[in-house]
Amino acid sequence: MNDRLSSPKATGGAGTIFEYQFAAIMFSRLLRGAHIPIGIQLPLDRIGLQQQVSGYPFDDIVAHGSPAPTGPRIQMQVKQKIYIRGKDPDFIKVMASAARAIREQDVDIADGALRLGLIAGGPATELAELREVAEMARAQPDHESLRALMGENITSSRIRARHAHVVAAVEAAVSMQGGEAAALAHHILASLHVWQVDLGPDGRDTRSEMDELATAFGSRVSAADLFAHLCDLAQECGPRAGQIDAQFLQRTLRSRWGLHLGPDNGTHAGHAPNEPAPRISLINNGSGPSWAAETQTFHNLDFRRH
């Protein structure tokens, strides 16, 4: 496998502006302690960009759930537009990368430690149909069960046709035919999570994320400015296969732009956001005071010098 790995900077793997905008959304979620949006219901702990160098076939973004690096993770391919059709060259390439992931990372995928994600701007209808096919595949133990579910009087013709496109793309990607290709397609679909995103200045997901930033940090900085800074950081870190955590983002935002979004912004060191700071109370108890701090109590302390 190592003979296929190369520096993303050397191969021009920085991606497109669309990819950086999506990376900025993931950085925002990382900064806010939000959850991974698809596949894993855990808070983000680390974001890897252009991770072919680490052996991920879906290499644009690798999102690590808490705690990284041992927590579950999802590797994502990001496309501004992808047509879910059996003869589309870009979709065939995506299926080839997915087949490689199944082949090389099968143990982690099989036990749920690793998922596949396809992030794209459109077409919305085709992506929605692919998402439905993937959900159906996840609910079936094998391709034979999925094929039975794809019966003419059971599933709509559009969903059946989209599944046929996936199988055809897998056949073209790995030179398989018939049941063998259908089995691999089921394996890929059962691991695949699809997210259709709307990015750009007026995009639904961009606007929604800026609203979340305004709620979290609005007293400190313009949400639009903060999101722009996160886009800049994504563009810088992508070509260098960056592995980014929230501390890196907070540190860089403060040192470069003077934005302090650290623990005193509604959080306290060692405590989760919105959790009240520990309070120490003085209780008169008999012959001496008692200092109570969370769960520890010290009775009859004597502060006189001896």
* Residue 272: inside a domain: no
Q: Do both 147 and 287 map to the same domain?
A: no
Q: Do both 154 and 63 map to the same domain?
A: yes
Give the separation between CA 19 and CA 67, rounded to whole angstroms: 25
* pLDDT tier for residue 10 given thresholds of 50, 70 and 90: very low
* Residue 177: inside a domain: yes
Q: Which of 115, 295, 123 is nearest to 190 (CA)?
A: 115
CB 55 within 8 A of CB 230: no
Instruction: Write the pLDDT tens digit of every residue in 168-227.
Output: 999 999 988 889 999 999 999 999 999 999 999 899 999 999 999 999 998 889 999 999
Q: Do both 68 and 176 map to the same domain?
A: yes
pLDDT reported for residue 263: 60
Domain boundaries, position 98: 2-196
* Residue 302: inside a domain: yes
Q: Do both 158 and 24 map to the same domain?
A: yes
pLDDT reported for residue 218: 86
Give the separation between CA 199 and CA 209, rounded to whole angstroms: 10
pLDDT reported for residue 177: 83
pLDDT reported for residue 136: 97
* Residue 262: inside a domain: no
Whether pLDDT at 291 is above 50: no
Whether pLDDT at 149 is above 90: yes
Instruction: State the chain's mean pLDDT as an integer.
Output: 85
Q: How far is CA 246 from the centre of its chain?
A: 14
* Residue 72: inside a domain: yes
Q: Do both 163 and 302 map to the same domain?
A: no
Whether pLDDT at 289 is above 50: no
Instruction: Write the pLDDT tens digit of every residue in 245-272.
Output: 999 999 999 999 999 987 654 443 333 4
Share of the chain above pLDDT 70, in %: 80
pTM of the model: 0.80
Instruction: Write the pLDDT tens digit of every residue in 156-175.
Output: 999 999 999 999 999 999 98
Whether pLDDT at 281 is above 50: no
- The residue out of 196, 227, 243 marking a domain boundary is 196
* Residue 118: inside a domain: yes
Q: Where are the alpha helices (DSSP H) in 175-239?
A: 178-191, 204-217, 223-237
Widest pairwise Cα distance in the chain: 91
Question: Burial code of 34-45, b = ≥16 C-beta within 10 A, e = fewer?
Answer: bebbbbbebbbb
Count of domains for the chain:
2
Give the separation between CA 21 and CA 108, rounded to whole angstroms: 29
Look-up of token digits 């509604």? 266
Q: How far is CA 81 from the centre of its chain?
A: 19
- The residue out of 170, 196, 222 marking a domain boundary is 196
* Residue 259: inside a domain: no
Q: Do both 13 and 136 map to the same domain?
A: yes
Q: Do both 133 and 37 map to the same domain?
A: yes
Whether pLDDT at 154 is above 80: yes
Cα dihedral 251, 256, 259, 263, rounded to 10, equals 10
- The residue out of 196, 218, 253 marking a domain boundary is 196
Q: Do both 74 and 185 map to the same domain?
A: yes
Q: Do both 306 and 179 map to the same domain?
A: no
